[in-house]
Amino acid sequence: MNDIFIYVALVLFGAALGSFAAATVWRIRARQLVADKAAGEDYDKKEYKRLKKIIAKPLDDHSQCLHCTYKLKWYDMIPIVSWLALRGKCRSCRQSIGWFEFLMEIGVAAFFVVSYVFWPGGVETGYDIAHFVLWLIAGVIMAILFAYDLKWFLLPDKLNIALAIVGLGIVGVVAAQTGDVVGTLLSAAGSVAILSGLYAALFFVSKGNWVGFGDVKLGVGLALILVDWQLALMALFLANFIGCLIVIPLLAAKKLERNAHVPFGPLLIAGTVTAWFLGWAVLDWYMSGLGF
Ligand SMILES: [Zn+2]
């Protein structure tokens, strides 16, 4: 009974924060375009024109249709529900409003529910709850980074920094919960060395050709939210594994150029999330196999 309320709350909060995450993606993009234009760099003129309304009124961005300027009512802005009721079309001009917002709402809501169901050891104590809530916040930041890197091959600094700060919070909670401050800090440092250090090495060796410095910075935040160096190793493995699963069929079907740019951010994030939920089970199984 109690659990039903928890699930309903997780879906509602997740969908609302997914909607917030989608809006944040456009807001950061709009600011990026303005900055690029001011710096005299190349920028996407078509996109700049489309996002102009957001640029002019940054807090008012989702209150009108980008095609016909129809003013959205409150019932047009209910996460997931409005999109389904309108079948992804504007109420006024019937133009498609796209899948992006809907997928972000569904995605973050699913992340919240899955996180609760598969939380290692269950969400019981005050420490568990603090850890769980910080993890959900990290999830919202990761959703924004995931979408941004997929769309524009960029991982904005502010988001990387925000993720690292949440990560430090998680390290603090784990240190307090286990009472092993030195061990936790060492494991977290090892985690950073594995997830960020490897990409830093690749970055310097290739002079920025293979991976971007954004991946190096993202690795710090992801390493901190995992805390454990063994999980970081697993995340790295899973990120590359998932990458191969996606890239090899595309190469085989000649849908992808050999030297095409592959965004590592979404792969690292997917690897990290999978490692967090699968990792403990695998480590338990491995340790019991060794007779610990
Ligand atoms: Zn419209």
CB atoms within 10 A of CB 123: 16
The Å distance, Cα 87 to ligand 1 centre, comes to 13
The Å distance, Cα 153 to ligand 1 centre, comes to 29
Question: Residue 198, CB half-sphere, CA atoms under 13 Å: how many?
Answer: 15
Q: Can you say whether the dihedral through the CA atoms of 151, 156, 158, 161 is positive or negative?
A: positive
CB atoms within 10 A of CB 270: 19
The Å distance, Cα 122 to ligand 1 centre, comes to 45
Encode 191-217: b = buried (16+ Cβ within 10 Å), e = exposed. bbebbbbbbbebbeeeeeeebbebbbb
Which token pair is 174? 């784990």
The Å distance, Cα 97 to ligand 1 centre, comes to 8
- Using CA atoms, how far apart are residues 221 and 236, in angstroms rounded to an integer? 14
The Å distance, Cα 49 to ligand 1 centre, comes to 16
The Å distance, Cα 195 to ligand 1 centre, comes to 44
Which one-letter DSSP state was computed for residue 211?
Answer: S
The Å distance, Cα 89 to ligand 1 centre, comes to 8
Residue 70 region by backbone torsions, left for phi larger than 0, else alpha for psi between -120 and 50, else beta: beta
The Å distance, Cα 95 to ligand 1 centre, comes to 6
The Å distance, Cα 16 to ligand 1 centre, comes to 22
Q: At what angle do helices 100-117 and 126-152 cross, to 10 degrees?
A: 150
The Å distance, Cα 19 to ligand 1 centre, comes to 19
The Å distance, Cα 147 to ligand 1 centre, comes to 24
Contact 53, 66 (CB under 8 A): yes
The Å distance, Cα 14 to ligand 1 centre, comes to 26
- Among residues 94, 55, 62, 54, the alpha carbon closest in space to that of 78 is found at 62
Burial class (CB in 10 A: 0-12, 13-18, 19+), 257: exposed
pTM: 0.90
The Å distance, Cα 154 to ligand 1 centre, comes to 29
| 3-state DSSP assignment of residue 71 | strand
Which token pair is 203? 């970055």
The Å distance, Cα 82 to ligand 1 centre, comes to 14
Which token pair is 207? 């002079």
CA distances to 57, 64, 134, 262, 277 from 61, rounded to whole Å, are: 6, 7, 28, 30, 36
Taking only the tens of pLDDT, the chain with its 292 residues reads: 578 999 999 999 999 999 999 989 988 998 888 888 888 888 888 888 777 766 666 555 567 787 787 888 888 888 899 999 999 999 999 988 889 999 999 999 999 999 999 998 889 999 999 999 999 999 999 999 999 999 998 999 999 999 999 999 999 999 999 999 999 999 999 999 999 998 899 888 988 887 788 999 999 999 999 999 999 999 999 999 999 998 888 888 877 776 677 788 999 999 999 999 988 778 777 777 766 5
The Å distance, Cα 106 to ligand 1 centre, comes to 23
The Å distance, Cα 55 to ligand 1 centre, comes to 19
